[in-house]
Amino acid sequence: LTLPAEALVTTLAAPRRGMAALAAAGDTGALASTLLDTRPYTAPDWAEALQAPNERVELGRLPTPIHKWPVPLLEDLGVQWWIKRDDLTGFELGGNKVRKLEFLLAEAKAGGYDCVVTIGGIQSNHCRATAAAARMLGLPSYLILRTSEPDKDPGLVGNLLFDRMLGAEIRTVTPEEYGRVGSARLGEMLVEELRGAGLKPYLIPVGGSNSLGTWGYLEGVRELQTQMPAVQGLTDGRFDHVTFACGSGGTAAGIGLGMHLSGLGQRGTKVHAVGVCDSPSYFYKFVDDEILPGIGHSLPCSESWLRVIQGRGRGYAVSTPEELDIIKRVCETTGVLLDPVYSGKALYKFCETAKGSPEEFAGKSILFWHTGGGFGMYDKA
């Protein structure tokens, strides 16, 4: 199967071995159908007025833990650090993607779809997590991956190794074509092709970030609410600041809106999403135009309950020595692995922002919501 020639998309042969080979042969279908059944979903009380989904597939090892984090950063400001470990959601180390996929794949399963299509960068954590979760549900995956060398086999590195082990069919597209055609249209083109071949594909956007996927982090805020009473040392039982990496917008929309609707924002908790690939204005517009309309009516604009910090640095997946130094120091002192594309960039830029506004952050409690992404480290080796 190929996309139209003008899309400049090529196919990489994906070796089928082990579980992937069995799944491709249909030998795991019966097993997979019993492992991950859908469950009825009831929204939090504070989200009852929204357009909530009815079902959820329980993929993650939830709730993820919160613990004090003795990270050697912002010590001059006397801050207290905690970390919420969404790098431990399970499911092949799927990170924050797992929460979104619980709702997206529930819809795919309920709708009788027989395969999944999604798109991302060549080392996309989302694509790898999607391929793993979909395979467990008995659904093959078709991945469109962005790379500057579409005619060169990038080999078995990082997330790409797992994509291939999972038996995903991989297409590649250049950054230029990705920008000209757009991720949404590239996904739709492949869906049209697969429909023509007699399949019923379910299309998941970049990062799983749409209105439905955002429910993963609305639910995540409810989880956080239930955990906070057991966290010692918080002022008024809340965190002063919550920060995390923002790559496609869905996690930021879910956490920010959830904090607002639950009342935590009104009680003083500020939400900081560090954008690692696009501008703050892009993310505000994306959340307001693409996510909020599908969640509920008359919601306030995202800029009123979410702060997006520009953290792109030298570029998406391009690291500075200072960013890599923070990753090394954090791992050496706390045992927590950050990745260079998302969490490492986010922590570095948040700290730089705090240093520039000491009056806002001095003596405050900060929760770093770790979004995972560790496999991307292998691409830097």
* Cβ pair 242, 86 in contact under 8 A: no
pLDDT of residue 375: 65
Q: What digits encode the pLDDT tens for the residues 302-337?
A: 999 999 999 999 998 899 999 999 999 999 999 999
Q: What digits encode the pLDDT tens for the residues 169-200?
A: 999 999 999 999 999 999 999 999 999 999 99
CA distance 171 to 108: 21
Does 27 score more than 90 pLDDT? no
DSSP 308: E
pLDDT of residue 22: 32
More confident residue, 65 or 27: 65
Which segments of 59-199 does DSSP mark as H helices, in order?
A: 97-110, 125-136, 159-165, 175-181, 183-196
Does 8 score more than 50 pLDDT? no
pLDDT of residue 95: 94
pTM, to two decimals: 0.90
Residues 23-39 have a mean pLDDT of 52
Q: What digits encode the pLDDT tens for the residues 92-103?
A: 778 999 999 999
Nearest Cα residue to 319 out of 355, 283, 348, 356: 348
CA distance 367 to 68: 9
* Token output for 215: 């429910």
Residues 279-292 have a mean pLDDT of 98
CA distance 243 to 360: 14
pLDDT of residue 376: 58
* pLDDT over 90 percentage in the chain: 80
pLDDT of residue 13: 37
* Token output for 144: 């469109």
Which active-site residues does the annotation give? 124
Does 350 score more than 90 pLDDT? yes
* pLDDT over 70 percentage in the chain: 88
CA distance 9 to 178: 10
pLDDT of residue 150: 80
> What are the residue boundaries of the structural domains of the chain, listed by start?
5-35+114-199, 60-95+209-380
Exposed / middle / buried, residue 226 (Cβ in 10 Å: 0-12, 13-18, 19+)? exposed
Q: What digits encode the pLDDT tens for the residues 119-165?
A: 999 999 999 999 999 999 999 999 999 998 888 776 777 889 999 99
CA distance 297 to 278: 26
AA identity, residue 27: D
Overall CATH class of domain 5-35+114-199: alpha beta
pLDDT of residue 186: 98
Distance of CA 118 to the CA centre of its chain: 13
What separation in angstroms does the CA of 121 have from each of 26, 114, 127, 146, 237?
A: 29, 24, 8, 5, 39
Do domains 5-35+114-199 and 60-95+209-380 share one topology? The answer is: yes
Does 21 score more than 80 pLDDT? no
Residues 247-257 have a mean pLDDT of 98
pLDDT of residue 379: 55
Report residue 52's pLDDT band, with 50, 70 and 90 as the boundaries.
Answer: very high
> Which CATH architecture does the domain made up of 60-95+209-380 adopt?
3-Layer(aba) Sandwich (3.40)
Does 299 score more than 60 pLDDT? yes
pLDDT of residue 17: 32
Nearest Cα residue to 82 out of 222, 239, 226, 220: 239
Residues 238-260 have a mean pLDDT of 98
CA distance 342 to 351: 14
